[in-house]
A and B are shown apart, each in its own frame.
Chain A
């Protein structure tokens, strides 16, 4: 009874239950339709009727109305081509084929006629020998290939003092008969030599005591013969892979090993249950241990790499570290290792123990005296220092040549890169790195920004003149380096320019003064004389030049006149003088630099060679008079200095 029924009884309004009767109806209809279907299966469909076409039940058809005549069978003779003789003709029941020309009566290949011929008479018309079917099982007859040999071949290659040809023949026969089933061959092997046979036949003489052949003897002989015949038919070098393998297997047959193996197998059979179980558990244990050591080793290696463990394997005795000295070195080692730990890569786990630091004293056998060991460990710790630093530079691992040679062939941890490769891979070495990332062009900017505005403008002008943009478009490392270089050179150039300008101005001034004096004196003296004449009242400026010249000429004579305030200028002058030979070189470099810089930055389509040349010429032109003048000045100064004495 459902709520719907209750509602109906109490005349309550029907709410939401409208679909119910319909549902029921549906299923009942479906049930009717699907007679013969199990109720459970029907219910699987739920509300939806199962989409199965119901079977139409009707009465059985008449049995004989549409029935074909019974199939005819016949006793059909057949032969089997797998047989040695083809004479045996057996007969089996086969369905009679419809197309069957009734031909000649039965030929008499059946040896004894047929008792039930009357039954078969109508059927066995077709059994002519040429159309007799072959047994479908004939194809399963396979034979083994047993090596064949002639008398000559036997004598030339197969002769064996243990075996007569007769017995070898017998063996080959047995192998063929029993299809290489060795247990049976051995079981039935019963060779009696010719004379032995004769004696048994005559029943007079005693049968010769034969040496019983073991299974291994038989196998060994057969394989020997087979392998040799194989090699005779086709020399070993011409054999294909399969043949060669077979030959190899046969030639490598060792009866002794087989016998040993069988003895062992026999002993295995005699084991008691406990022994068997114990052995099994032991084997299991061994396998477990092996598996674990592998894992353990792996883990340990990884740990070592992580720690950059400096010395000793666990197997080494700890006596090295028992003294305070040893402990100290250990501490040192650990500290250096700790320092470089962060940069130490975890690569190279395969040869983890080959890190030179860790391999230090441990590589030395324990038989060495303690003192030597200690020395060793100290040396190792020293090497550890050097090495740690070296490692941190991340360049070459085997920096210390004497250590690895001492230790023997230990492969360097990292491959040493050539300069070319370093360039290619962008590897660079740094003594010290600033913390945090920086932009490369910051370096350029830094150079520029630290300068005063005037200087900055001048540098920018020069750059403009050189047609190099102040801001690099592609600040690769090389470009930035060169730019830096360029800027420094430009700086020097500007300094020199400034200096030379100053000198020019002074010279002009002096010349003007001199002209005035000459005008006053009315005579035109020689310059040198004039110089010497003006010696007495030479002002601080000439003194300064003198000083500079003197310093330059390494004439550290008494220069009382040089004042302390003039020193910087003198230094500057000296600097300028000193720089002159470098200047040319730097100029030269500058141009090449420019080319490279231009090449890299490549805003302009082509490096402006003529301009550079001009620049060079211009600068040298501009510098050359200064230099000349300075040299002149120096000479004057010398003279005047000498005269001063």
Chain B
């Protein structure tokens, strides 16, 4: 998929690219993306959730496994996330380093491992599962002690949430410089990257991600800090809405992910499931169930949930009746129960736009206020920037993030904005490809890091050595 350009000629004069084999790392709450600059999709996409296995026989306590392939049901297994749900910034730095190393070092540079068979996890023999995942901090520490640093060849570009704090930023450059020995480093904000991915230097970036939705104004490749708006309306919030809907539906719908199912038989629509459940002879940590539930609900979101396209709200009289007359969608749960979804699939997503339409949630903090709905975020963001910029921003709205892939999202957003700013020209720019929408920030970072004009921006190792970690605050504004 990510075919680099043929190397017969280096078309620097065409798009100003000048690749220096940089790496790009984009960490989010739901997934972490890493790849080579200049490519159009990240080579490695891992969930930011990781598995922590309690070692019964070792004194080290626990070891972590990374990657979807290793997140399966097993005893003494807990699913954790190294990112913070509310902020989408790194929470657990130790694990973050492990996750990133497993991606940048092992998955992106497999030949490195082959040259050092003694260092890879294959020959450890600690577990018989053939686990190729990164082992633990011990190995990375060992690597660090080695004469050569693992990333001495590649400049590294990392993205961060626009509200990321100074300490976290300094930590990032420290890791890159000290642990990995990167020759150059840069920290870029996700909205800026998303705007670059859409080919714009100035844009209003609406990033509807897994844990958060953020709206940020970008002007000439820099975010406007006062304009940053954030809300937890995102993929996980939507999952909770779906759970709430399942709970309140008349025969209560059980969410049973596929690991629980031993076997299933087809049943009629609306009929109760007749599946045989799998019996586990050990106790499973609830976090694993939650993780698996989330995966199931993601599938449901992808295939069923739709956004009322407008104009007007879904709760306006007549709209629901109209939806009822139209064909619905059938979704079959892993346990075999299936159902046609018509108006409900619109109802769950309506809370993003209209706080009065949201379904009751389990916890109070899940509730969103009016200010947290997507249109209000945009309004607040625009009100925080200079008046002269607003028309331009409205004409360059970049929609990115996986949750923005909901059917009808863009239409609704467009309608809401047209209603909010009737006299203005509103233009949405949303990538058509799913990958481009999901990895918007990474792609932007990939473009940025492969530009010839970007070479002067990098923070070099020497500069870091001279100025310390504080340089990141000075340079990456």
Contacts and interface: CB of A to CB of B under 8 A. Distances in A.
Interface of A: 73, 80, 82-85, 87-95, 110-116, 135-138, 140-141, 177-178, 181-184, 186-188, 215, 262, 265-266, 268-269, 271-276
B422 A273 contact: yes
B452 A135 contact: yes
B392 to A, nearest CB: 10
B4 to A, nearest CB: 10
Contact of A181 (B10, B153, B220): B220
10 contacts: A82-B456, A87-B463, A88-B455, A88-B462, A92-B19, A110-B152, A187-B385, A188-B225, A271-B422, A274-B422
Contact of B148 (A84, A113, A262): A113
A88 B458 contact: yes
Interface string B172-216: 000000000101100000000000000000000000000000000
A80 B455 contact: yes
B254 to A, nearest CB: 48
B220 A112 contact: no
B460 A85 contact: yes
A187 B7 contact: no
B95 interface: no
A24 B179 CA distance: 83
Given A112-B152, A273-B422, A186 B386 contact: yes
A73 B463 CA distance: 30
Contacts of A272: 422-423
A579 B232 CA distance: 126
B18 A183 contact: no
Complex A-B, nearest 5 residue pairs according to Cβ-Cβ distance, in ascending order: A273-B422, A112-B152, A88-B460, A276-B423, A137-B452
Given A87-B460, A88-B458, A271 B423 contact: yes
A166 B225 CA distance: 23
B152 A137 contact: no
A217 to B, nearest CB: 13
Given A137-B455, A188-B225, A91 B21 contact: yes
Contacts of A84: 463
B387 A140 contact: no
B477 interface: yes
B387 A269 contact: yes
B189 to A, nearest CB: 13
A183 B224 contact: yes
A40 B111 CA distance: 56
A183 B204 CA distance: 14
A261 B460 CA distance: 45
B12 interface: yes
Contacts of B224: 183-184, 187
A535 B422 CA distance: 128
Contacts of B184: 88, 90
Contacts of A113: 148, 152
Nearest to B423: A276
A620 to B, nearest CB: 101
Given A90-B20, A91-B21, A273-B422, A138 B183 contact: no
A87 B462 contact: yes
Contacts of A80: 455-456
B10 A94 contact: yes
Interface string B450-473: 011101101011110000000000
A93 B219 contact: no
A265 B388 contact: yes
Given A91-B153, A187-B385, 6 more contacts: A92-B19, A93-B7, A93-B10, A111-B461, A112-B181, A265-B388
Q: Which of A88, A110, A182, A271 has the most CB of B within 10 A?
A: A88
A112 B181 CA distance: 8
A80 B458 CA distance: 11
A111 B21 CA distance: 17
B93 interface: no
A273 B423 contact: yes
A138 B226 CA distance: 32
Q: Which of B12, B20, B152 has the most CB of A within 10 A?
A: B20
Contacts of A115: 112, 115, 148, 152-153
A52 to B, nearest CB: 31
Nearest to B424: A269
A345 B68 CA distance: 97
Interface in B215-233: 219-220, 222, 224-227
